[in-house]
A and B are shown apart, each in its own frame.
Chain A
Amino acid sequence: MSLPNAQPENNASGAAAEEPRRILEVRNLSVEFYPGSTRAFHAVVDANFEIEAGKMVSVVGESGCGKTLSALALVGLTPPAARCRGTIVHGSRSFEASSSALARLRGRDVGMVFQEPMTALNPLFSLDRQFREVLRYLRGVEDRKEARDISTELLDRVGLDRPERRVNQFPHQLSGGQRQRAMIALALAGEPSLLIADEPTTALDATLERRVMELFRKLADEGLGVLMISHDLPLVADVSDRVVVMYSGYTVENGPAHQLVDAPQHPYTRGLVASASAIVLGDTPRLPVIPGEVPSPDRRPGGCPFHPRCPEKLDRCESEFPPESEPVAGVRTACWARGGDQ
């Protein structure tokens, strides 16, 4: 098999060929820190989303909203102080979110790409050696030559130039963009069906950022499921199928990508879109259009956690958390001002 993941694997039930294959379903995922103690708090509350093969889903929100924790929980990588609850369905296998069995999905079913390629790649090992290691442990490839062929093919697939040469290099010999591509190739080495990328372009300049995003889109088009994590809604909306908006651990909106940019429902999503366009238009002071900042989860205000910053705040927002509603077909929003009172 020369191009892992180039084709979506065929489901056993051939009849469902037309149905997009669901590779991940997250139900009521919560992440609680220091459970049982007086300083316990929830960093992620009741997250629900799903990803189908060939689709790219993005989770967006400002820093501290619980995006990274949600992603880490999918493969049991949350910090020891955290307890996860909920259900995570990978393909046909269902897991308790607290289960240590999630670790077995790492690499083989779920590939992960992290934010800082400078610190996320072990500086002491050449790419060749890192590939060989993953291929040996995940796919039983013992032969050096075979491992090398697979690695250069993977590097080529993620658009790294001169992969035969690059594969011999060490992380510090690559540029930021090259490093990030190498990381993606390494994440693909175990032939996962889902790729999770946590702010993979934060360290890159705007042009590179777009090119790497397009690479993820290409990988999704080749059949992979992609979970993208970002604070930049317009950037990811362009290449994503769906967008999930998180605020202070809560999922506040979930809908088709283009719809969330063209007609955002939740006031927080509107704020994200507006602040991004303010920067694009070059309004001189790059002040965020949403004043204030995300409350840390242990000091989250009651009611709708967004109410201290919300321009559309109603009286009940301070005391009651809004239920989810569907103000527009396909878009789920948690906001009193968007029919939460129906």
Chain B
Amino acid sequence: MLGFVIRRLLVAALLLLAASFLTFMMIQLAPGDYLAQLRMNPQIGDDVVEQMAERYGLNDPVLVQYGRWLGNLARGDMGFSFVHERPVAGLVWEHLRNTIFLMTMVILVTWLMALPMGIYCAIKQNRLTDRVLSALAFVGLSIPNFFLCLVVMWLAAEIGGIPVGGMTSAHYEYLSWGGKVVDVALHMAIPVLVIATGAMAGLQRVTRGNMLEVLRQQYVTTARARGLPEHRVIYVHALRNAINPLITIFGYQFALLVSGAALVEIIYSWPGMGQLILEAVLTQDLYLVVGVVLGSGLMLILGNLLADILLGVNDPRIKFGERGAS
């Protein structure tokens, strides 16, 4: 398995390299750049701008610039953000951490709610509870995230007491340890709820479908015929098989959430990758854009790798490193 992980990481590195190159080229070839914006600012003299261009080698050919950036990257230096005036690495890491934090909560909430509901619906197929939950899931699936954001924001404002922006309150620094936890939890509640709604609805439907499919399988009848108690048949024999495809979903849920959550992050000014991406692209903050792409890409790749490893742990038929093993 170690060999498999190493191989996957090597491929990932190549992919990220290609992604960084493409991003670099796109930013450079797009009309305008960060310096152009500076030049338009009457308060900044041309000599200051030229000095900057000189310092960062922004007048060199694109390929040379990229080569220099790569060389620095090898030493752990991801470049400098013009806008934030600090190294990109620290900036990306801070926002990445906040996004991972948010996503972990979203995924926990999603799975802890959706799995039991999906299983319950499958077992009670077409009974009243199944119908009600299915209808709710359908509603959850069809509400666009941004609309939900606005509705919830309005509700929160009406009710009051629940923060609807940022990750911490202004007086955060002065709170006790427990107070800090509560403060962050309150700030998270709404973005987590909003992102989890759609994800949960989808996962619940898939779980229900898988479970129904698996419950029809011959080995479930075999397990019953062996005289095993019904809870054992459902929660061990059927569930383990129904979970298999869900693990793959877990992998790309990461991908989905990174992009889907960006919007919610921006609306609720959560200091995560979503904000950083938007800002970096709008200001054409070259190294920051590339840094953000690398950070997000790494997250996707790690999410998928984690899913593949879990899949292999759950299913003995999967041999690591063999393509198309089923």
Interface residues, chain A, with chain B CB atoms under 8 Å away: 75, 77, 104-108, 112, 114-116, 119-126, 133-134, 137-138, 170, 172, 183, 186-187, 189-190
Mask of B244-270 contacts with A, CB within 8 angstroms, 1/0:
100000000000000000000000000
Question: Least Cβ distance of A88 to chain B in Å?
Answer: 15
A122 and B237 form a contact (CB under 8 A): yes
B221 and A77 form a contact (CB under 8 A): yes
Query: Which applies to chain B's interface (DSSP): helix, strand, loop or mixed?
Result: helix
Give the B interface residue count (CB, 8 A): 22
Contacts of B218 on A, CB cut-off 8 Å? 114-116, 119-120
Question: Least Cβ distance of B59 to chain A in Å?
Answer: 61
Question: Least Cβ distance of B232 to chain A in Å?
Answer: 7
Contacts of A120 on B, CB cut-off 8 Å? 218-219, 221-222
Across the interface, name the chain B residue whose C-beta is closest to A104.
B227
Question: Least Cβ distance of A334 to chain B in Å?
Answer: 30
Q: A170-B317, A172-B317 are in contact. Are A190 and B226 (CB under 8 A)?
A: yes
A77 and B224 form a contact (CB under 8 A): yes
Which 9 pairs, one residue from A and one from B, show the smallest C-beta to C-beta distance?
A107-B227, A106-B227, A112-B225, A119-B218, A122-B219, A120-B218, A170-B316, A107-B226, A120-B222
Q: Name 7 interchain pairs, CB-CB below 8 A, sorted by A.
A: A119-B217, A122-B223, A125-B240, A133-B236, A134-B228, A138-B227, A190-B226
What 5 additional pairs, Cβ within 8 angstroms, besides A137-B227, A187-B226?
A: A107-B226, A112-B226, A114-B225, A119-B217, A122-B237
B221 and A124 form a contact (CB under 8 A): no
Contact of A107 among B225, B236, B237 (CB under 8 A): B225
Question: Least Cβ distance of B273 to chain A in Å?
Answer: 36
A105 to B221, CA, bound (A): 15
A121 to B221, CA, bound (A): 10
A124 and B228 form a contact (CB under 8 A): no
Contacts of A186 on B, CB cut-off 8 Å? 226
Contacts of A114 on B, CB cut-off 8 Å? 218, 221-222, 225
A106 to B221, CA, bound (A): 11
A137 to B221, CA, bound (A): 17
Question: Least Cβ distance of B258 to chain A in Å?
Answer: 30
B227 and A124 form a contact (CB under 8 A): no
B219 and A123 form a contact (CB under 8 A): yes
Question: Least Cβ distance of A132 to chain B in Å?
Answer: 12
Question: Least Cβ distance of A45 to chain B in Å?
Answer: 24
Contact of A133 among B228, B240, B314, B316 (CB under 8 A): B228
Is B54 in the interface zone, CB < 8 Å from A?
no
Contact of B227 among A108, A115, A119, A183 (CB under 8 A): A108
Contacts of B46 on A, CB cut-off 8 Å? none
Q: A124-B315, A126-B316, A138-B227 are in contact. Are A133 and B232 (CB under 8 A)?
A: yes
Q: A114-B218, A124-B315 are in contact. Are A75 and B226 (CB under 8 A)?
A: no
A123 and B227 form a contact (CB under 8 A): no
Within 8 A of A (CB), among B269-325: 314-317
A172 and B316 form a contact (CB under 8 A): yes
Contacts of B226 on A, CB cut-off 8 Å? 106-107, 112, 134, 138, 186-187, 189-190
Contact of A122 among B222, B227, B314 (CB under 8 A): B222
Q: A124-B240, A172-B316 are in contact. Are A119 and B228 (CB under 8 A)?
A: no
Question: Least Cβ distance of A221 to chain B in Å?
Answer: 24
